[in-house]
């Protein structure tokens, strides 16, 4: 097990040991897990019921397992397939928190500079919901995130540095239309002179109709301060649609979606390549429970 995996395992173990304190009814660990879905229901009933976008991390608290697949084409004529794309398990341990325990992406690059192997591992993200109201009470939400990424990747796909990403996310709905947005900074703990600080912002515009259809447009921007990309930015636009939530069982809903992401910012050929790719086909499958 990697050092990061040990950190996650130890953290999850400490969470389990702390559950008697988290259980508001004071019934201990058994009572805590017996009432798991009561807390999930309470958490999700007190927030908007929008769909999680394809690229933008939603400010909502979700409980699901998610698998994404990316097919990217770079400006240097390479094709990159990202298996899982760093998604994984999302859990709601309290009525205002979510933890995301992600899987490392596996990358396969063909054509120019062929390589394959693991990418850096966005192993853990913790969400703290600050304010929220469901559709009847105002239809808004504000949430803070803290993410940690381990430099697990093979030589072709790693930054060689742990990074920490604090993020603020928010959203507002008006009937069947909603806007979800995030702004955060990826802060490397080493090699900052090469990697730089990346300020990442996302904006998702989403519409809901006919129960199962969620078409959307997203804008995904990264701007660098310092490092090899100092002063540069890359802006992508994502057009897609998500279908769901299809009921499978009492606590199981299936969601699937897809989209096309393409660069709006101009191509800068000198290394490092910016934007990182020219276009990307996205597939997302989720089992909410």
Q: Structure tokens of 88?
A: 């994984």
Q: Does residue 188 belong to any structural domain of this protein?
A: yes
In a 3-state reduction of DSSP, which class is residue 159? coil
Note the pLDDT tens digit of each residue in 90-134: 999 999 999 999 999 999 999 878 999 999 999 999 999 999 999
Strand partners of residue 80: 72, 109
Q: Does residue 21 belong to any structural domain of this protein?
A: no
Q: Is residue 8 predicted with pLDDT exceeding 60? A: no
Q: What pLDDT score does 21 carry?
A: 46
Whether pTM exceeds 0.85: yes
Note the pLDDT tens digit of each residue in 122-169: 999 999 999 999 999 999 999 999 999 999 999 999 999 999 999 999
CATH number for the domain harbouring residue 278 = 2.40.160.40
Report the C-alpha gap between 180 and 230 in whole angstroms. 28
Q: Does residue 255 belong to any structural domain of this protein?
A: yes
Strand partners of residue 132: 141
Q: Is residue 6 predicted with pLDDT exceeding 70? A: no
Segment 174-187 mean pLDDT: 98
Of 161, 203, 218, the residue nearest 186 (C-alpha) = 161
**How many distinct structural domains can be found in the chain?**
1
CB atoms within 10 A of CB 218: 22
Q: Structure tokens of 46?
A: 């007190």
Q: Compute the C-alpha angle 117/269/193, nearest 5°.
A: 70
Note the pLDDT tens digit of each residue in 231-263: 999 999 999 999 999 999 999 999 999 999 999
Q: Does residue 231 belong to any structural domain of this protein?
A: yes
Distance of CA 195 to the CA centre of its chain: 21
Q: Does residue 28 belong to any structural domain of this protein?
A: no
Segment 178-207 mean pLDDT: 97
Averaged confidence pLDDT in the chain? 92
Of 232, 215, 234, the residue nearest 224 (C-alpha) = 232
Of 54, 76, 51, 70, the residue nearest 108 (C-alpha) = 70
Q: Does residue 220 belong to any structural domain of this protein?
A: yes
Q: Containing domain of residue 222, as a range?
A: 35-288
Q: Is residue 68 predicted with pLDDT exceeding 60? A: yes
Q: Does residue 4 belong to any structural domain of this protein?
A: no
Task: Judge contact between 180 and 156, C-beta under 8 A.
Answer: no
Segment 40-59 mean pLDDT: 98
Radius of gyration of the chain (CA): 19
Q: What pLDDT score does 183 carry?
A: 98
Q: Does residue 15 belong to any structural domain of this protein?
A: no
């Amino acid at each position: 097990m990697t050092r990061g995996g040990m950190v996650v395992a130890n953290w999850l173990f400490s969470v389990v040991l702390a559950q008697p304190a988290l259980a508001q009814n004071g019934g201990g660990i058994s009572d805590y897990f017996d009432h798991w879905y009561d807390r999930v229901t309470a958490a999700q009933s007190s927030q908007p019921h929008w769909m999680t976008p394809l690229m933008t991390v939603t400010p909502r608290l979700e409980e699901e397992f998610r698998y994404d697949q990316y097919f990217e084409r770079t400006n240097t004529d390479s094709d990159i397939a990202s298996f899982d794309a760093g998604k994984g398990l999302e859990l709601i341990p309290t009525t205002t928190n979510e933890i995301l325990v992600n899987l490392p992406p596996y990358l396969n690059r063909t054509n120019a500079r062929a390589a394959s192997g693991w990418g850096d591992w966005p192993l853990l993200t913790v969400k703290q919901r600050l304010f929220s109201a469901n559709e009847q009470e105002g239809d808004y939400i504000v949430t803070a995130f803290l993410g940690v990424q381990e430099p697990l990747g093979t030589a072709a796909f790693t930054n060689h540095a742990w990074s920490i990403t604090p993020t603020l996310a928010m959203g507002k709905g008006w009937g069947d239309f909603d806007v979800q947005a995030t702004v955060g900074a990826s802060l490397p703990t080493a090699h900052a002179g090469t990697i730089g600080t990346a300020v990442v912002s996302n904006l998702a515009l989403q519409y809901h109709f006919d129960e199962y259809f969620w078409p959307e447009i997203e804008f995904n921007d990264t701007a660098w301060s310092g490092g090899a990309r100092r002063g540069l930015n890359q802006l992508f636009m994502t057009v897609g649609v998500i279908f769901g939530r299809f009921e499978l069982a009492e606590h199981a809903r299936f969601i699937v979606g897809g989209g096309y992401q393409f660069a709006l910012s101009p191509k800068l050929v000198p290394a490092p390549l910016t934007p990182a790719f020219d276009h990307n086909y996205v597939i997302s499958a989720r089992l909410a429970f």
